[in-house]
């Protein structure tokens, strides 16, 4: 079945889904997006994702030409049109077509695009055995420049970090903030376990507030785990008993090595496994 793509209220076959080459989303990365999962026909935390989509748009002064409720309905309708039981949704809002030049006042008609398709971020063996990450020189965007809390179409910061990680032979890259503290990975949030305490960088470290990150924090607190959102350094990663990453596409994936240092036993740890199973149950019950 050819995927159906929503563009401004109409569904198009994937090859026919098009926008203007003068769109500022293409010319300047001027727009916002979300990544959302479908599990057994259920859209996981749709409201939270649409909330963040509208927050990102508001932060860049981009008016979405649908209401919150209409956006949720459009996403649900596009999933239904694609008859997708398990998959990935990518809603995108661009500034719209205009003239060459940065001035957003010269654009018109923001574009609403909703893609429903499959995604596989990491090979299955990494979920069983863990992956290796490497700290890269590309730092997370300074929060006083472009806020990392905005999920914008300008992802070059993350892509440059990803390139560094790939060159070093790793599947994922660990990014520091401007203070040299742990922020997040190129596409995922990071968690550590030390002496039974679950630790993750706070929002103030310059991270995107991941929806999956939030779900993991809820699951950990519900299980009466000790949880700390706190400043972390590479030293904390090196001496951790366990490490894992979270993200909509990645879900929960264990990390067993960072910068050539083995983490814990070199295998996915018990808390990581416990939270993975709790998250799986959550997605099935959603």
Report the DSSP pairing between strands 4-7 and 10-13.
antiparallel
The Cβ of residue 19 has, within 10 Å, a number of other Cβ atoms equal to 17
Q: What is the DSSP letter of 186?
A: S
Rounded Cα distance between 181 and 189, Å, is 14
DSSP reduced 3-state for 252:
strand
> Which residues, at least 6 apart from 271, have a Cβ–Cβ distance to it below 8 Å?
193, 196, 198, 225, 242
Judge whether 151 counts as a catalytic residue: yes
Catalytic residue among 4, 151, 162, 199: 151
- Whose CA is closest to 96, among 34, 172, 153? 153
Please, what is the Cα angle at 201 between 199 and 205, to 5 degrees? 165
Known catalytic residues?
151
């Amino acid at each position: 079945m050819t995927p159906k793509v929503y563009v401004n209220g109409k569904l198009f076959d994937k090859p026919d889904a098009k926008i203007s080459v003068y769109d500022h989303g293409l010319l300047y990365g001027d727009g916002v997006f979300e990544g959302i999962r479908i599990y057994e026909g259920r859209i996981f935390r749709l409201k939270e994702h649409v909330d963040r989509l509208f927050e990102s748009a508001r932060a860049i002064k981009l008016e979405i030409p649908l209401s919150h409720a209409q956006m949720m309905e459009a996403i649900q309708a596009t999933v239904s049109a694609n008859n997708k039981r398990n998959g990935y949704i990518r809603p995108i809002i661009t500034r719209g077509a205009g003239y060459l030049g940065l001035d957003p006042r010269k654009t018109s008609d923001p574009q609403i695009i909703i893609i429903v398709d499959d995604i596989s971020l990491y090979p299955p063996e990494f979920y069983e055995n863990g992956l290796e990450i490497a700290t890269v020189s590309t730092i997370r965007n300074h929060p006083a420049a472009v806020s990392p809390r905005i999920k914008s179409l300008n992802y070059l910061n993350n892509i440059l970090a990803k390139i560094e990680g790939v060159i070093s032979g790793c599947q994922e890259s660990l990014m520091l903030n401007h203070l040299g503290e742990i922020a997040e990975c190129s596409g995922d949030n990071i968690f550590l376990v030390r002496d039974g305490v679950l630790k993750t960088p706070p929002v103030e470290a310059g991270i995107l507030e991941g929806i999956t990150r939030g779900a993991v924090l809820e699951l950990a607190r519900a299980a009466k785990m000790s949880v700390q959102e706190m400043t972390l350094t590479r030293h904390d990663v090196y001496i951790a008993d366990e490490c894992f990453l979270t993200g909509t596409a990645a879900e929960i994936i264990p990390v067993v090595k960072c910068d050539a240092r083995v983490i814990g036993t070199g295998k996915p740890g018990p808390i990581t496994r416990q939270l993975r199973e709790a998250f799986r149950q959550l997605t099935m019950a959603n």
